[in-house]
């Protein structure tokens, strides 16, 4: 994938409020292509595995409850420099800057509308969590 794919998720707060289309518009407007996409939801086991790196942190149980509370959209996005450009587009975990997707759509640090991979290595792991490699690698 050579650094041009990243994994995005539209989280349950944003799907419930009807922000899915507006958020996809932000991604496409920023030059990302949609390589694979799925409207689905996670069960407890899946959410605990997806966020396994955060197990033991004070926010972990609430995060799993939140992420299993409704529908999500799992998306493989493609663009040069995808991981870094997408993280810039969505904004920081805390106090996302004006103009970012999280600044526009997040309601709190936890319910922050969108997920984004933090490295090329994790992007491949996260894309593979929701999709077969034939769906996004060619």
Q: Which residues are catalytic?
A: 115
Our CB check for ligand ADP shows the closer of 39 and 59 to be 59
- Shortest distance in whole angstroms from residue 44 CB to ligand ADP: 16
x-or-dash pattern for Mg ion, window 84-123, by CB under 5 A? ----------------------------------x-----
Query: Which entry of ligand ADP, Mg ion, none binds 115, CB below 5 to 8 A by partner kind?
Result: ligand ADP
Contact between 112 and ligand ADP per CB under 6 A: yes
Contact between 93 and ligand ADP per CB under 6 A: yes
Distances 125 to 1, 3, 27, 46, 129 between C-alpha atoms, Å: 12, 13, 21, 13, 6
Contact between 9 and ligand ADP per CB under 6 A: no
Distances 69 to 58, 62, 77, 129 between C-alpha atoms, Å: 19, 10, 24, 19
Contact between 79 and ligand ADP per CB under 6 A: no
CB atoms within 10 A of CB 69: 16
Is residue 66 within 8 A of residue 46, CB to CB? The reply is no
- In 3D space, the residue among 20, 19, 63, 17 whose CA is nearest the CA of residue 42 turns out to be 63
- Give me the residues that bind ligand ADP (CB under 6 A), please: 54, 59, 63, 93, 109-110, 112, 115, 118
């Amino acid at each position: 994938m050579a650094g041009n794919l990243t994994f995005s998720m539209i989280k349950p707060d944003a799907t419930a409020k009807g922000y899915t289309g507006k958020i996809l518009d932000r991604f496409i407007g920023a030059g990302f292509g949609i390589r694979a996409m799925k409207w689905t939801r996670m069960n407890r086991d899946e959410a605990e595995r997806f966020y396994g790196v955060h197990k033991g942190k004070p926010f972990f149980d609430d995060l799993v409850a939140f992420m299993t509370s409704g529908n999500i959209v799992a998306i493989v996005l493609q663009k040069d420099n995808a991981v870094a450009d997408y993280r810039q587009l969505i904004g920081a975990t805390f106090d996302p800057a004006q103009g970012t997707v999280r600044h526009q759509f997040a309601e709190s640090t936890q319910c922050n509308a969108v997920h984004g991979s933090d490295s090329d290595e994790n992007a491949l792991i996260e894309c593979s969590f929701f999709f077969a490699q034939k769906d996004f690698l060619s």
